[in-house]
């Protein structure tokens, strides 16, 4: 095969020049060498173009600057100037809708970023912002190109600046398919969603060798920054999959639920699931006894169209669920406590997870449904010292700042500050409902009785019997299912089986909701 680094030869006529062009394009398409391609496949990884082929609709990709080459000299670079400079950029369609993409080609300079490489990414990011279309990055690179020095680092700065400019304007999705080390890891962290492939993808600021040299700790690349770590421990990755094909198919599914930009609504779809379908199963799924756990996922799947959900951060902060789904064909974001994990309490990580999800939904015009069954914030020294006040305030701020339609449903417990934070009517929920099993209160009846009647209980001949009687009295007076409704704190108490119908009708009413925010550059949310 012809060496990609050689200069094109002059052709005598137009046909000759066209033939030369096609020959060069074929070289670009095939990549640096068959050996490099085989090495990529041997690692269980696809090439950049194979990945783009899985992401985009067939024959829809239009490449930008395929003939770009670097201008660097020294360290042997002047003799190695492959086309594309190690990154494939362009646009195509996903289910007929325009999507921009760039993909690192690990076969060329290990996918490392140099000046020309960065310029191509900057250009495609600018095009995505100008066109108002999603941007997907397929990451498989070895960081900055050391031979080009600080120029390569400046290239990252340009990417970060554009990530920030595009934030909340167009959906940005990072797909981690190989290594991503050092400053390069900050670009995915600035985007809306991060996908990772197990075993082959890693993200870390300092690698295992540096960690060992500085701290003495020995750890593998996957143990330090693999997909499992970031999906379940750090929360950096929203999704993790076993192979690239499945991962890219799920990226396509996510894109089908997102608008092209912040000026559009998410795409609607025809649903064969009747909007008025009664959910009789809910009567058995959720125990009336507030101390008995259940799986909130089953509740969500019963309510939404065809039981289909896309759960975000499925393995991180599992005491709260953040889900994208459809109701009568319309995309909704669902935030729900998970009683089967830590009784559904809010803690630092759950607050951060839900706050980020609420902000994303609000940015891209996705209505928010909140399902409450929350006993409060998780008590403990670690939580207080870790800043639960600050982190819990992130969720409060996100809800208060959201202008999309917001509907909340109290299934069972809704106690204390956690009730307020989880999109209560008092912080701006448009419509609030409750099931007849709801308990909305400052705290549980037992705890309340112990505080209010502690002297009577202590002075009683039989403290346990007295406590039980007073708990019963407190429940009857202040915690019966209609207490909040009688005081206008919920708009209605509904039959659980009607939840789907009620949500569909309410969201249809709110579809053209308009809310004005005060003039400001931006808020100053808790950090």
Q: Known catalytic residues?
A: 182-183, 417-418
What is the b/e burial string over 181-209, where b = at least 16 CB atoms within 10 angstroms of the residue's CB? bbbbbebbebbbbbbbbeebbbbbeebbe
Per the DSSP assignment, residues forming a β-bridge with 180 are 203
d(CA 443, CA 447): 7
**Residue 7 per-residue DSSP state:** P
Q: What is the DSSP string of 256-283?
A: TTS-SSTTSPPPP----S-TT---TTHH
Task: Say if residues 421 and 396 touch (Cβ distance below 8 Å).
Answer: yes
> For the chain, first and last CA: distance in Å?
55
Burial class for 504, CB neighbours closer than 10 Å (0-12, 13-18, 19+)? buried
**CA 152 to chain CA centroid, nearest Å:** 29
Sheet holding 172-176, edge to edge: 62-64, 87-94, 97-104, 135-139, 172-176, 193-197, 239-241
Instruction: Please provide residue 507's backbone torsions phi and psi, each rounded to the nearest 5 degrees.
Output: -65, -35
**CA 221 to chain CA centroid, nearest Å:** 24
d(CA 412, CA 284): 14
d(CA 147, CA 157): 18
CB under 8 Å, gap of 24 or more: what pairs does 54-58 form?
A: 54/244, 54/245, 54/248, 54/249, 55/92, 55/94, 55/99, 55/101, 55/136, 55/138, 55/248, 55/251, 55/252, 56/92, 56/93, 56/94, 56/99, 56/101, 57/92, 57/93, 57/94, 57/95, 57/96
Q: Which two tokens stand for residue 444?
A: 């549980």
Residue 29 vs residues 4, 98, 111, 277, 355: alpha-carbon distances, Å: 11, 22, 16, 51, 43
Helices (H) and strands (E) in the chain, counts: 21, 17
d(CA 213, CA 195): 30
């Amino acid at each position: 095969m012809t060496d990609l680094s050689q200069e094109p030869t002059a052709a005598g006529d137009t046909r000759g020049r066209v033939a030369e062009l096609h020959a060069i394009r074929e070289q670009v398409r095939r990549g640096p060498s068959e050996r490099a391609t085989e090495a990529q496949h041997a690692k269980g990884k696809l090439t950049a173009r194979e990945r783009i082929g899985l992401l985009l609709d067939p024959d829809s990709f239009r490449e930008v600057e395929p003939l770009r080459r670097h201008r660097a000299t020294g360290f042997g670079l002047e003799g190695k100037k492959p086309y594309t400079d190690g990154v494939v950029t362009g646009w195509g369609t996903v289910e007929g809708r325009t999507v921009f993409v760039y993909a690192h080609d690990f076969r060329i300079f290990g996918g490392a970023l140099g000046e020309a490489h960065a310029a191509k990414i900057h250009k495609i990011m600018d095009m995505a912002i100008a066109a108002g279309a999603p941007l997907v990055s397929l990451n498989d690179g070895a960081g900055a190109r050391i031979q080009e020095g600080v120029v390569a680092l400046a290239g990252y700065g340009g990417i970060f600046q554009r990530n920030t400019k595009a934030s909340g304007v167009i959906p940005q999705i990072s797909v981690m398919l190989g290594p991503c080390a050092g400053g390069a890891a900050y670009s995915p962290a600035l985007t809306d969603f991060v996908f990772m492939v197990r075993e082959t993808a890693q993200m870390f600021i300092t690698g295992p060798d540096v960690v060992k040299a500085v701290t003495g700790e020995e750890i593998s690349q996957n143990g330090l920054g693999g997909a499992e770590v970031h999906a379940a421990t750090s929360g950096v990755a929203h999704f993790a999959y076993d192979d690239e094909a499945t991962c890219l198919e799920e990226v396509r599914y996510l894109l089908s639920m997102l608008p092209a930009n912040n000026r559009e609504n998410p795409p609607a779809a025809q649903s064969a699931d009747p909007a008025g379908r009664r959910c009789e199963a809910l009567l058995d799924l959720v125990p009336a006894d507030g101390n008995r756990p259940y799986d909130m996922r089953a509740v969500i799947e019963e309510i939404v169209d065809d039981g289909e959900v896309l759960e975000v951060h499925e393995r991180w902060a599992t005491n709260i669920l953040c889900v994208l789904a459809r109701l009568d064909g319309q995309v909704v974001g669902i935030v729900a406590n998970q009683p089967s994990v830590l009784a559904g309490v809010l803690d630092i990580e759950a607050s951060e997870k839900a706050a980020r999800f609420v902000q994303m939904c609000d940015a891209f015009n996705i209505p928010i449904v909140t399902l409450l069954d929350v006993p409060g914030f998780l008590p403990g020294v670690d939580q207080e010292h870790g800043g639960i006040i600050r982190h819990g305030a992130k969720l409060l701020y996100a809800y208060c700042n959201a202008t999309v339609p917001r509907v909340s449903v109290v299934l069972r417990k809704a106690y204390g500050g956690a009730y307020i934070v989880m999109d209560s009517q008092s912080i701006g929920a448009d419509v609030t409902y409750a099931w007849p099993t709801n308990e909305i209160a400052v705290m549980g009846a037992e705890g309340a009785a112990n505080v209010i009647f502690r002297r009577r209980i202590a002075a009683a001949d039989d403290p346990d019997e007295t406590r039980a009687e007073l708990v019963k009295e407190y429940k009857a007076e202040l915690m019966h299912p209609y207490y909040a409704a009688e005081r206008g704190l919920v708009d209605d108490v509904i039959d659980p089986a009607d939840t789907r119908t009620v949500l569909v009708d309410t969201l249809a009413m709110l579809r053209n909701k308009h809310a004005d925010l005060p003039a400001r550059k931006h808020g100053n949310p808790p950090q």
